[in-house]
Amino acid sequence: MNTIILAGGKSSRMGQNKALMRIGGIRVIDRIAAELGPESDRMIVIADDPALYEHMDAVLLEDAPDFKGQGPLAGIYTGLKEAGDGPCLIVACDMPFVSARLGCELVSILKRNDRDAVVPIHEDRLHPLFAAYDARAAETAKETLMDGKRSVKALLDRIDVEYFTIQGESDAVWNMNTMEEYIQAAKLAGRGDGNDL
Ligand SMILES: Nc1nc2c(ncn2[C@@H]2O[C@H](COP(=O)(O)OP(=O)(O)OP(=O)(O)O)[C@@H](O)[C@H]2O)c(=O)[nH]1
């Protein structure tokens, strides 16, 4: 599978680039790459400033020029287009505890049932930024953006999606947007006092 990490956006609630914040001493984006890399044929990072990620074993791209900075859907479109065909795992760069096992499960359902996307649901919330997409959804993502719709939900409304409920407790789709959530993540990672700050 292709793993596509979304690392654009403003991080305005956090006030700094979430991808580069350290949890358990390791930058979040590097944690994600370490977890998902072994399962990935190719890793693609879509960022505003790709130079920040040159240390990674990944294809580094900016959002497609027509949709630059238009939110996660712009990154999804750019990543799926680069992937060309086949299954892709989309992952936001602010998810410190992603699970390769869950990612592989989503991709295997995608392949088995020939869906355009398989999106997890956890505690009644959709998580389309840790989800499997077939690269063929790129065209619909582009049309959605061209129609002026920027929400990922608008894409999901137009493609064949299977929803997968995550049972029980899980940190795999947990993401951090604020400093409070970052402190919580540092604690969850076992540092006790959030002393990565
Ligand atoms: N490639 C790309 N990724 C994006 C863009 N906007 C957000 N993302 C990514 O999408 C994920 C979710 O982003 P959000 O938390 O909704 O937005 P954000 O801009 O990072 O943060 P806020 O400014 O606090 O809303 C993160 O992985 C972001 O890096 C964008 O325009 N392009």
Q: Domain holding 171: CATH number? A: 3.90.550.10
Q: Is 75 in the pocket of ligand 1 (CB under 6 A)?
A: yes
Q: What burial class does residue 48 get, using C-beta atoms within 10 Å of its C-beta: 0-12 exposed, 13-18 middle, 19+ buried?
A: middle
Q: Which residues of the chain have pLDDT under 50?
A: 192-197
* Amino acid 188: pLDDT: 85
User: Does the predicted TM-score (pTM) go above 0.90?
Assistant: yes
User: 43 near 30, Cβ under 8 Å?
Assistant: no
For residue 53, is it within any domain?
A: yes
Residue 193 included in any domain: no
pLDDT score at 80? 98
Identify whether 195 is part of a domain: no
Q: Which of 16, 174, 177 to mutate to test the pocket of ligand 1 (most atoms within 8 A of CB)?
A: 177
Query: Is 194 inside any structural domain?
Result: no
Structural contact between residues 4 and 88, judged by C-beta atoms closer than 8 angstroms:
yes
Does a structural domain hold residue 196?
Answer: no
> How far is CA 120 from its chain centroid?
12
| Res 83: pLDDT | 98
Residue 90 C-alpha to ligand 1 middle, in angstroms? 13
Q: Measuring from atom 27 of ligand 1, which residue has the nearest CA?
A: 92
- 2 beta partners: 42, 88
Contact criterion met (CB below 8 Å) for 35 and 99: yes
72 Cα: distance to centroid of ligand 1 (angstroms): 6
Q: Is the CB of 9 under 6 A from ligand 1?
A: yes
Does residue 197 lie within any of the structural domains?
Answer: no
Tally of CB atoms within 10 A around 119: 22
The count of structural domains within the chain is 1
The answer to whether residue 166 sits within a structural domain is yes
| Span from the CA of 119 to the centroid of ligand 1 (angstroms) | 18
- Looking at the CA of residue 79, tell me the nearest atom of ligand 1: 1
Q: Are strands 130-134 and 87-92 parallel, antiparallel or unpaired?
A: antiparallel
Whether 178 is in the pocket of ligand 1, judged by its Cβ within 6 Å, is no
Domain of 107, in residue numbers: 2-187
Give the pLDDT confidence score for residue 197 in this predicted structure.
44
What DSSP string describes 81-115? HHH-SSEEEEEETT-TT--HHHHHHHHHHHHHHT-
Going by C-alpha positions, the residue among 156, 107, 100 that lies closest to residue 127 is 156
Atom of ligand 1 nearest to the CA of 178: 24
Q: Is 11 in the pocket of ligand 1 (CB under 6 A)?
A: yes
